[in-house]
Structure 1
Amino acid sequence: MPLYLVNGSPGAGKSTACAELNRRGFIAYDTDLDQLSAWSDGVLRLPPSTVRRIAAEVGDGAGFICGSTGNEGEVWDLFTAVAFLTVGADTLRRRLIQRGGFGSAGAELEGVLGRHTGAESANARFGAHLVDADRPVEEVVDDLLTALGVARN
Protein backbone atom coordinates (compact mmCIF):
# COMPACT_ATOMS: atom_id res chain seq x y z
CA MET A 1 0.00 0.00 0.00
CA PRO A 2 2.55 2.63 -0.98
CA LEU A 3 0.99 6.06 -0.59
CA TYR A 4 2.84 9.26 -1.39
CA LEU A 5 2.23 12.89 -0.43
CA VAL A 6 2.92 15.50 -3.10
CA ASN A 7 3.00 18.94 -1.55
CA GLY A 8 4.23 22.42 -2.37
CA SER A 9 3.31 26.05 -2.15
CA PRO A 10 -0.01 27.24 -3.60
CA GLY A 11 0.58 27.50 -7.36
CA ALA A 12 3.49 25.03 -7.43
CA GLY A 13 1.54 22.60 -9.61
CA LYS A 14 0.13 20.03 -7.20
CA SER A 15 -3.29 19.85 -8.87
CA THR A 16 -1.72 19.74 -12.33
CA ALA A 17 0.61 16.92 -11.26
CA CYS A 18 -2.36 15.09 -9.71
CA ALA A 19 -4.29 15.26 -12.98
CA GLU A 20 -1.26 13.91 -14.86
CA LEU A 21 -0.86 11.05 -12.36
CA ASN A 22 -4.53 10.17 -12.86
CA ARG A 23 -4.09 10.37 -16.64
CA ARG A 24 -1.26 7.85 -16.32
CA GLY A 25 -3.52 5.43 -14.44
CA PHE A 26 -2.42 6.03 -10.87
CA ILE A 27 -4.83 6.53 -7.99
CA ALA A 28 -4.30 10.20 -7.14
CA TYR A 29 -6.38 12.54 -5.01
CA ASP A 30 -6.27 16.32 -4.84
CA THR A 31 -6.86 17.57 -1.29
CA ASP A 32 -8.77 20.60 -2.63
CA LEU A 33 -10.70 19.22 -5.61
CA ASP A 34 -11.57 15.95 -3.87
CA GLN A 35 -12.39 17.80 -0.63
CA LEU A 36 -10.15 15.62 1.53
CA SER A 37 -9.17 18.44 3.88
CA ALA A 38 -11.42 20.34 6.26
CA TRP A 39 -11.01 23.44 8.41
CA SER A 40 -10.67 22.79 12.12
CA ASP A 41 -9.66 25.43 14.67
CA GLY A 42 -8.44 27.70 11.88
CA VAL A 43 -6.21 25.02 10.32
CA LEU A 44 -6.85 23.19 7.05
CA ARG A 45 -6.40 19.57 8.12
CA LEU A 46 -6.10 16.28 6.29
CA PRO A 47 -7.65 13.74 8.68
CA PRO A 48 -5.35 10.79 9.43
CA SER A 49 -8.36 8.49 8.99
CA THR A 50 -8.70 9.73 5.40
CA VAL A 51 -5.03 8.95 4.71
CA ARG A 52 -5.45 5.44 6.17
CA ARG A 53 -8.62 4.85 4.11
CA ILE A 54 -6.89 5.84 0.88
CA ALA A 55 -3.82 3.73 1.73
CA ALA A 56 -6.09 0.70 2.12
CA GLU A 57 -7.86 1.54 -1.16
CA VAL A 58 -4.54 1.71 -3.03
CA GLY A 59 -3.71 -1.89 -2.14
CA ASP A 60 -0.50 -3.03 -3.83
CA GLY A 61 -0.45 -0.19 -6.36
CA ALA A 62 1.00 3.25 -5.83
CA GLY A 63 -1.30 6.06 -4.73
CA PHE A 64 -0.87 9.78 -4.29
CA ILE A 65 -2.43 12.54 -2.26
CA CYS A 66 -1.58 15.92 -3.78
CA GLY A 67 -1.99 19.06 -1.73
CA SER A 68 -0.89 21.00 1.30
CA THR A 69 -2.44 20.89 4.72
CA GLY A 70 -1.80 22.59 8.02
CA ASN A 71 -1.27 19.31 9.84
CA GLU A 72 1.37 17.71 7.64
CA GLY A 73 3.41 16.90 10.74
CA GLU A 74 0.51 14.81 12.02
CA VAL A 75 0.09 12.76 8.83
CA TRP A 76 3.61 12.76 7.35
CA ASP A 77 4.50 9.35 8.85
CA LEU A 78 1.42 7.76 7.28
CA PHE A 79 3.00 8.16 3.82
CA THR A 80 5.65 5.97 2.22
CA ALA A 81 7.47 9.15 1.14
CA VAL A 82 6.83 12.85 0.59
CA ALA A 83 7.72 15.01 -2.41
CA PHE A 84 7.79 18.80 -2.45
CA LEU A 85 7.28 20.59 -5.77
CA THR A 86 9.72 23.47 -6.08
CA VAL A 87 9.29 26.53 -8.29
CA GLY A 88 11.04 29.87 -8.50
CA ALA A 89 9.40 32.95 -7.01
CA ASP A 90 8.81 34.52 -10.44
CA THR A 91 7.09 31.40 -11.75
CA LEU A 92 5.02 31.13 -8.58
CA ARG A 93 3.92 34.78 -8.81
CA ARG A 94 2.96 34.36 -12.49
CA ARG A 95 1.00 31.14 -11.85
CA LEU A 96 -0.89 32.58 -8.88
CA ILE A 97 -1.88 35.74 -10.77
CA GLN A 98 -2.92 33.76 -13.87
CA ARG A 99 -5.11 31.28 -12.02
CA GLY A 100 -6.92 33.85 -9.89
CA GLY A 101 -8.58 32.97 -6.60
CA PHE A 102 -6.64 32.37 -3.40
CA GLY A 103 -3.23 34.02 -3.31
CA SER A 104 -3.57 35.85 -6.60
CA ALA A 105 -3.49 39.45 -5.40
CA GLY A 106 -2.56 41.86 -2.66
CA ALA A 107 -1.74 40.67 0.83
CA GLU A 108 -2.67 37.04 0.01
CA LEU A 109 -0.19 36.98 -2.87
CA GLU A 110 2.57 38.51 -0.76
CA GLY A 111 1.77 36.09 2.07
CA VAL A 112 2.06 33.05 -0.20
CA LEU A 113 5.32 34.34 -1.64
CA GLY A 114 6.66 35.04 1.86
CA ARG A 115 5.81 31.55 3.13
CA HIS A 116 7.23 30.03 -0.06
CA THR A 117 10.68 31.41 0.76
CA GLY A 118 11.39 28.91 3.55
CA ALA A 119 9.10 26.06 2.50
CA GLU A 120 11.59 24.24 0.28
CA SER A 121 14.35 24.08 2.89
CA ALA A 122 11.89 23.17 5.65
CA ASN A 123 10.51 20.25 3.64
CA ALA A 124 14.01 19.10 2.68
CA ARG A 125 15.01 19.11 6.36
CA PHE A 126 12.14 16.74 7.11
CA GLY A 127 13.12 14.37 4.30
CA ALA A 128 10.91 15.41 1.40
CA HIS A 129 12.15 14.68 -2.09
CA LEU A 130 12.49 18.02 -3.92
CA VAL A 131 11.13 17.99 -7.47
CA ASP A 132 11.61 20.92 -9.85
CA ALA A 133 8.09 21.86 -11.02
CA ASP A 134 9.25 24.77 -13.16
CA ARG A 135 8.85 22.64 -16.32
CA PRO A 136 6.16 20.90 -18.38
CA VAL A 137 3.98 18.64 -16.23
CA GLU A 138 5.00 15.48 -18.08
CA GLU A 139 8.64 16.09 -17.10
CA VAL A 140 7.67 17.01 -13.55
CA VAL A 141 5.72 13.78 -13.07
CA ASP A 142 8.50 11.70 -14.66
CA ASP A 143 10.95 13.18 -12.14
CA LEU A 144 8.43 12.83 -9.31
CA LEU A 145 8.04 9.11 -9.99
CA THR A 146 11.82 8.68 -10.24
CA ALA A 147 12.46 10.59 -7.00
CA LEU A 148 9.90 8.45 -5.16
CA GLY A 149 11.08 5.18 -6.75
CA VAL A 150 7.68 4.50 -8.33
CA ALA A 151 7.50 2.45 -11.53
CA ARG A 152 5.80 4.24 -14.41
CA ASN A 153 2.41 2.92 -15.51
Structure 2
Amino acid sequence: MNDAVRILQSVRRIEQCVELYSKRLVQLYQVTTPQLVALLTIAEMGACTQSAIGKAIYLSPSTVVGIVDRLEEKGLVQRARATQDRRQVYVHLTDKGRELLSLSPSALPEGFSLALQMLSAEERATLMVTLERFTELLEAKVPTPGI
Protein backbone atom coordinates (compact mmCIF):
# COMPACT_ATOMS: atom_id res chain seq x y z
CA MET A 1 0.00 0.00 0.00
CA ASN A 2 1.43 3.38 -0.93
CA ASP A 3 1.93 6.30 1.47
CA ALA A 4 -0.87 8.40 -0.03
CA VAL A 5 -3.46 5.68 0.58
CA ARG A 6 -2.26 5.10 4.14
CA ILE A 7 -2.39 8.83 4.86
CA LEU A 8 -5.93 9.12 3.43
CA GLN A 9 -7.04 6.11 5.48
CA SER A 10 -5.66 7.71 8.64
CA VAL A 11 -7.33 11.03 7.85
CA ARG A 12 -10.65 9.22 7.32
CA ARG A 13 -10.27 7.40 10.65
CA ILE A 14 -9.67 10.75 12.35
CA GLU A 15 -12.78 12.20 10.66
CA GLN A 16 -14.86 9.23 11.85
CA CYS A 17 -13.63 9.62 15.43
CA VAL A 18 -14.44 13.33 15.40
CA GLU A 19 -17.93 12.68 13.96
CA LEU A 20 -18.72 10.00 16.54
CA TYR A 21 -17.53 12.15 19.40
CA SER A 22 -19.51 15.12 18.10
CA LYS A 23 -22.66 12.95 18.14
CA ARG A 24 -21.87 11.99 21.74
CA LEU A 25 -21.50 15.66 22.69
CA VAL A 26 -24.92 16.34 21.19
CA GLN A 27 -26.43 13.52 23.27
CA LEU A 28 -24.78 14.65 26.50
CA TYR A 29 -24.62 18.44 26.18
CA GLN A 30 -26.73 19.37 23.12
CA VAL A 31 -23.72 20.95 21.35
CA THR A 32 -21.55 19.73 18.49
CA THR A 33 -17.77 19.72 18.52
CA PRO A 34 -17.51 22.95 16.43
CA GLN A 35 -20.05 24.63 18.73
CA LEU A 36 -18.08 23.55 21.81
CA VAL A 37 -14.81 24.74 20.29
CA ALA A 38 -16.45 28.11 19.54
CA LEU A 39 -17.72 28.34 23.14
CA LEU A 40 -14.27 27.50 24.52
CA THR A 41 -12.73 30.12 22.23
CA ILE A 42 -15.19 32.82 23.36
CA ALA A 43 -14.53 31.88 26.99
CA GLU A 44 -10.79 32.22 26.42
CA MET A 45 -10.90 35.43 24.34
CA GLY A 46 -13.79 37.15 26.08
CA ALA A 47 -16.38 39.05 24.05
CA CYS A 48 -15.17 38.96 20.45
CA THR A 49 -16.36 39.33 16.89
CA GLN A 50 -17.46 36.42 14.76
CA SER A 51 -14.51 37.16 12.50
CA ALA A 52 -12.10 36.73 15.44
CA ILE A 53 -13.76 33.44 16.35
CA GLY A 54 -13.41 32.19 12.78
CA LYS A 55 -9.72 33.11 12.63
CA ALA A 56 -9.04 31.46 15.98
CA ILE A 57 -10.67 28.15 15.02
CA TYR A 58 -10.00 28.18 11.26
CA LEU A 59 -13.60 28.34 10.07
CA SER A 60 -15.12 30.45 7.31
CA PRO A 61 -17.23 33.47 8.26
CA SER A 62 -20.43 31.84 7.00
CA THR A 63 -19.77 28.71 9.07
CA VAL A 64 -19.15 30.81 12.19
CA VAL A 65 -22.40 32.71 11.63
CA GLY A 66 -24.29 29.39 11.56
CA ILE A 67 -22.55 28.15 14.70
CA VAL A 68 -23.20 31.40 16.57
CA ASP A 69 -26.84 31.38 15.39
CA ARG A 70 -27.33 27.91 16.89
CA LEU A 71 -25.49 28.79 20.10
CA GLU A 72 -27.64 31.91 20.46
CA GLU A 73 -30.83 29.87 19.88
CA LYS A 74 -29.71 27.59 22.73
CA GLY A 75 -29.11 30.60 24.97
CA LEU A 76 -25.38 29.87 25.30
CA VAL A 77 -24.12 33.10 23.69
CA GLN A 78 -25.50 36.52 22.99
CA ARG A 79 -24.65 39.05 20.31
CA ALA A 80 -24.30 42.72 21.16
CA ARG A 81 -23.45 45.70 18.96
CA ALA A 82 -20.45 47.78 19.95
CA THR A 83 -21.32 51.18 21.34
CA GLN A 84 -18.52 52.96 19.45
CA ASP A 85 -19.04 51.33 16.06
CA ARG A 86 -22.53 49.88 15.64
CA ARG A 87 -21.31 47.82 12.66
CA GLN A 88 -19.23 45.70 15.02
CA VAL A 89 -21.09 42.82 16.66
CA TYR A 90 -19.54 41.07 19.63
CA VAL A 91 -20.38 37.59 20.84
CA HIS A 92 -20.17 36.77 24.53
CA LEU A 93 -21.06 33.84 26.73
CA THR A 94 -24.29 33.89 28.69
CA ASP A 95 -24.62 32.45 32.19
CA LYS A 96 -26.02 29.31 30.57
CA GLY A 97 -22.96 29.10 28.30
CA ARG A 98 -20.59 29.47 31.27
CA GLU A 99 -22.59 26.84 33.14
CA LEU A 100 -22.22 24.39 30.24
CA LEU A 101 -18.45 24.96 30.16
CA SER A 102 -18.25 24.47 33.92
CA LEU A 103 -19.45 20.90 33.31
CA SER A 104 -16.05 20.52 31.63
CA PRO A 105 -17.00 18.82 28.39
CA SER A 106 -13.78 18.20 26.52
CA ALA A 107 -13.43 19.11 22.86
CA LEU A 108 -11.51 15.83 22.50
CA PRO A 109 -12.77 12.31 23.21
CA GLU A 110 -11.99 11.22 26.78
CA GLY A 111 -9.92 8.22 25.71
CA PHE A 112 -7.80 10.43 23.49
CA SER A 113 -7.32 13.02 26.24
CA LEU A 114 -6.23 10.34 28.68
CA ALA A 115 -3.89 8.71 26.16
CA LEU A 116 -2.42 12.12 25.34
CA GLN A 117 -1.72 12.77 29.03
CA MET A 118 0.13 9.43 29.20
CA LEU A 119 2.63 10.63 26.60
CA SER A 120 5.78 12.38 27.75
CA ALA A 121 6.05 16.13 27.20
CA GLU A 122 8.54 15.38 24.42
CA GLU A 123 6.16 12.96 22.70
CA ARG A 124 3.28 15.48 22.90
CA ALA A 125 5.52 18.19 21.45
CA THR A 126 6.59 15.88 18.62
CA LEU A 127 2.96 14.99 17.90
CA MET A 128 1.94 18.65 17.80
CA VAL A 129 4.81 19.59 15.49
CA THR A 130 4.02 16.64 13.22
CA LEU A 131 0.32 17.56 13.03
CA GLU A 132 1.15 21.20 12.34
CA ARG A 133 3.53 20.14 9.55
CA PHE A 134 0.90 17.75 8.17
CA THR A 135 -1.60 20.62 8.09
CA GLU A 136 0.90 22.83 6.27
CA LEU A 137 1.38 20.09 3.67
CA LEU A 138 -2.39 19.77 3.20
CA GLU A 139 -2.67 23.53 2.74
CA ALA A 140 0.21 23.69 0.28
CA LYS A 141 -0.72 25.48 -2.92
CA VAL A 142 0.16 23.79 -6.18
CA PRO A 143 1.37 26.30 -8.79
CA THR A 144 -1.06 26.68 -11.66
CA PRO A 145 0.69 26.37 -15.04
CA GLY A 146 0.62 29.52 -17.15
CA ILE A 147 -0.07 31.94 -14.28
Same fold (TM over 0.5): no
Normalised to the residue count of structure 1, the TM-score between the two structures is: 0.27
Structure with greater strand percent:
1
Relative contact order higher in (CA < 8 Å, ≥ 6 apart): 1
Normalised to the residue count of structure 2, the TM-score between the two structures is: 0.28
Structure with greater helix percent:
2
